[in-house]
Every structure is written in structure tokens, then in C-alpha cells.
Amino acid sequence: MTSDIVLYFSALTGLAMVAMAALRGWDGWLSLKRLEFERTDMGDAATMIDLADMRERLRKLEAIAAGVDL
């Protein structure tokens, strides 16, 4: 009985650690994409519109990653 509780607690702790690592990786990937978008040359109007659209999508993805309802 006691060993089962220890096993379940250990599994839950391991799952939490994996989830935190995955979320940290996701946040790093979003930061990288944000930097890529900021460094993009702003040439013509179509590029600027595409860039604005990508930034809006990035904001939505960040809100989803943070658990915020839109």
C-alpha cells in the first residue's frame, strides 16, 4: 500500500518535470521566432502585412501557451 503511494507520487513528480521542461522549450522556441520576426527586413507593404499577421499569430500562440483564454 505504502509502496504504491510512493510509486504514484514519483510518477506524478516525473510527469510534472517533463511537462515543465516541455513548456520551457516551447517558450524558448517562441522567443526565437519572435526574434526572427523582429529582424525581418520591412520592405514592401505586402511584407509588412505578412509580418503583422505572423506577429498576431505568435501572440495567440503565446496566450495559448500561457493558458489565457482569448
User: Residue ranges of the domains in the chain?
Assistant: 2-66
How far apart are the C-alpha atoms of 68 and 61, rounded to whole Å?
10
With a cut of 60, say whether residue 70 has pLDDT above it.
Answer: no
What is the average pLDDT across 5-17?
Answer: 95
pLDDT, position 18: 95
Question: What single letter denotes the amino acid at residue 24?
Answer: R
- Give the relative orientation of helices 2-38 and 45-66 as an angle to the nearest 10 degrees: 160
pLDDT, position 47: 73
Whole-model pTM over 0.85: no
Contact 26, 65 (CB under 8 A): yes
As given in the structure block, the three cell numbers for residue 17 are 518535470
What is the average pLDDT across 7-11?
Answer: 94
With a cut of 90, say whether residue 36 has pLDDT above it.
Answer: no
